[in-house]
Amino acid sequence: MSETAPDSADGNVASGTGDNSFVVVANRLPVDMIIESDGTKSWQESPGGLVSAVSPVLEKHQGCWVGWPGVTDEAPEPFRTERGVLLHPVELTQHDFEEFYEGFSNATLWPLYHNLIVTPEFNRSWWDAYRDVNLRFATEVASVAAPGATVWVQDYQLQLVPGILRQLRPDLTIGFFLHIPFPPPDIYRQLPWRSEMLRGLLDADLIGFHLESNVRNFVELCRGYDMEVSGEIKVREAGITITLPNGHSLGVGVFPISIDTSAIAATLAADTHHESHGELEQMHHNMGSPSTVFLGVDRLDYTKGILQRLLAFEELLDSGALDPKEVALVQLATPSRERIDSYRTTRSNVEEAVGRINGRFSQIGRPVVHYQHRSVTKDVLMRYYRLADVMLVTPFRDGMNLVAKEFVATRADSSGALVLSEFAGAADELTQAHLCNPFDIEDIKKAMLQATWGLKNNPEAMKERMSAMYNQVMEHDVDLWANAFLGALGALEQKHSV
Ligand code: ADQ
């Protein structure tokens, strides 16, 4: 796990506040504070797609990141990372963590926005905590932002921040990006606090979503509230304008998030050193030299469809369609939201399936499923991507899914295949993948077999598919995402100030 050494250790605490012209605010800082049993404190990269995507943007802008440091009841001083990003921690109490983070954010909004894969819980005291914590984040941002600064609010945990900030600091330009899907209006309307939530969001100057379907859902919802909607949906532009009864207008657009392709290229290049020592071959050898390696890389979340993927693999072994002496499946699962019941159940179901499949099909010293319930460093992750023949990305629903794009970015040689859920946002762009319906185990099996068969019997066609996806990802990286969003936000700001 990579460590980021704060300069505060040598006394270089951020001097003064209110002088940051670019501020990102997200629930989590890009690093988590780790407190050892002897009280020693250190920092580790925090998990998840938002951090992967937004970190390089902040590094390029040398901006300020306001967020929670990952441990409760701790308020470290602001500090600058080695890469020049000013981190401004916001304290969450244990009560906030339970009611705002685990409760409202992850047991109400997360399942609601992911189309009810599990049933959302509506709890009034969680909503109170959500409002309180959003007020705290907005107040912190208001104190660090320079006059006329640009503030970019990230994700579903902070949907009230644009509205509160607008009250506190009318001089700011406020963008909001939603990293998860926006649900159909009928589902959104189940939320008891739907109007206040929507009102908070609409005080932004620009709202960005990953997909056209997200924007359609959002616009339909707004029309139901008698807002004036004009323009048309555009990609990487604020094609839609929504005007509120008080005269405030905002832009809405599709901004598909992506990955830092140059950082991946640099990691791959650095890895050639290890390559010369045969590290990749050694990993393959340690796995029993399977002719086909399937790979899954996910936060351990019920939306990611890990269990269904394992069941599909088990059925293929059971029927003899795959030979357990020839294949292996590696599943890396980052621990996530571990105290929430639905996450505990998902973990125990996944681990039970791993144990059963290995019990049925492994030989001594050669498991068919290699399962790791922990994070790995980026360079090790890249090595797993390179090792894989068939990448399995089968979420029931996913805003985008960066893992699919990261895998493709390691395939400059056009090797390998991607099995991809049609309900991952990435399926809108990676159309050459082996698409499947993750709710249909037969369909996952079919896609896995087509990919395996294609690699053996039709390598040229498979290379064409991978090459098209590789070019797509290389031409649409995270810089394009950030520049398009911030460019559209800047253009709106100029329009308003004319
Ligand atoms: P996530 O749900 O976290 O992100 P994803 O987009 O796949 O999903 O990002 C996961 C990130 O974590 C990737 O960068 C991946 O490399 C990393 N990761 C996963 N498992 C790992 C492991 N075992 N070790 C190390 N790193 C690991 C949310 C939304 C997505 C959306 C992103 C960005 O749910 O739909 O794509 O935000 O907007």
Which tens digit of pLDDT belongs to each residue from 353-410?
999 999 999 999 999 999 999 999 988 999 999 999 999 999 999 999 999 999 999 9
214 lines ligand 1 (CB under 6 A): no
86 lines ligand 1 (CB under 6 A): no
406 lines ligand 1 (CB under 6 A): yes
Ligand 1, atom nearest to 376 Cα: 24
299 lines ligand 1 (CB under 6 A): yes
Q: What is the pLDDT of residues 42-73, one digit of tens each?
A: 998 887 778 888 998 899 888 999 999 999 99
179 lines ligand 1 (CB under 6 A): yes
Determine the longest span between alpha carbons in the chain, in angstroms: 73
Instruction: Tell me how far apart the alpha carbons of residues 196 and 128 are, in angstroms, rounded to a whole number.
Output: 12
114 lines ligand 1 (CB under 6 A): no
Confidence (pLDDT) at 367: 96
Ligand 1, atom nearest to 47 Cα: 12
- Intra-chain end-to-end CA distance of the chain, in Å: 48
Confidence (pLDDT) at 359: 98
Nearest CA to ligand 1 atom 12: 48
Q: From ligand 1's centre to the CA of 323, what distance in Å?
A: 31
Position 14 pLDDT exceeds 70: no
Instruction: Tell me how far apart the alpha carbons of residues 205 and 483 are, in angstroms, rounded to a whole number.
Output: 16
Q: From ligand 1's centre to the CA of 404, what distance in Å?
A: 10
Confidence (pLDDT) at 306: 98
Ligand 1, atom nearest to 210 Cα: 38
Instruction: Tell me how far apart the alpha carbons of residues 50 and 25 are, in angstroms, rounded to a whole number.
Output: 11
400 lines ligand 1 (CB under 6 A): yes
The CATH number fitting domain 261-475, selected from 3.40.50.1820, 1.20.1260.10, 3.40.50.2000, 3.40.50.1980: 3.40.50.2000
The band of 498, judged by pLDDT with boundaries at 50, 70 and 90, is low
- CATH 3.40.50.2000 in the chain is located at 6-258+479-497, 261-475
| CATH dotted code for 6-258+479-497 | 3.40.50.2000
402 lines ligand 1 (CB under 6 A): yes
In DSSP notation, 138-195 reads: HHHHHHHEEEEEEEEEESGGGTTHHHHHHHH-TT-EEEEE--SPPPPHHHHTT-TTHH
Of 258, 402, 420, the one to substitute when testing ligand 1's pocket (max ligand atoms within 8 A of C-beta) is: 402
Q: 89: burial class by Cβ within 10 Å (0-12, 13-18, 19+)? A: buried
300 lines ligand 1 (CB under 6 A): no
Q: Which residue has the tokens 């339909």?
A: 220
Confidence (pLDDT) at 115: 94
Q: From ligand 1's centre to the CA of 48, what distance in Å?
A: 4
Instruction: Give the type of residue at 370.
Output: H
CA atoms within 13 A on the CB side of 464: 4
The mean pLDDT value of the chain amounts to 93
The band of 278, judged by pLDDT with boundaries at 50, 70 and 90, is confident
Q: From ligand 1's centre to the CA of 498, what distance in Å?
A: 40
Lowest mean pLDDT among 59-68, 126-135, 414-423: 59-68
Quick check: pTM over 0.85? yes
Q: From ligand 1's centre to the CA of 457, what distance in Å?
A: 32
Q: What is the pLDDT of residues 202-259, one digit of tens each?
A: 999 999 999 999 999 999 999 999 899 999 999 999 999 999 999 999 999 999 999 9
Q: From ligand 1's centre to the CA of 53, what distance in Å?
A: 9
Nearest CA to ligand 1 atom 13: 49
Cβ–Cβ under 8 Å, residues 393 and 444? no
Nearest CA to ligand 1 atom 24: 375
Instruction: Tell me how far apart the alpha carbons of residues 469 and 429 are, in angstroms, rounded to a whole number.
Output: 8
Of 401, 405, 485, the one to substitute when testing ligand 1's pocket (max ligand atoms within 8 A of C-beta) is: 401
45 lines ligand 1 (CB under 6 A): no
260 lines ligand 1 (CB under 6 A): no
Could you count the other beta carbons within 10 Å of the beta carbon of residue 261?
21
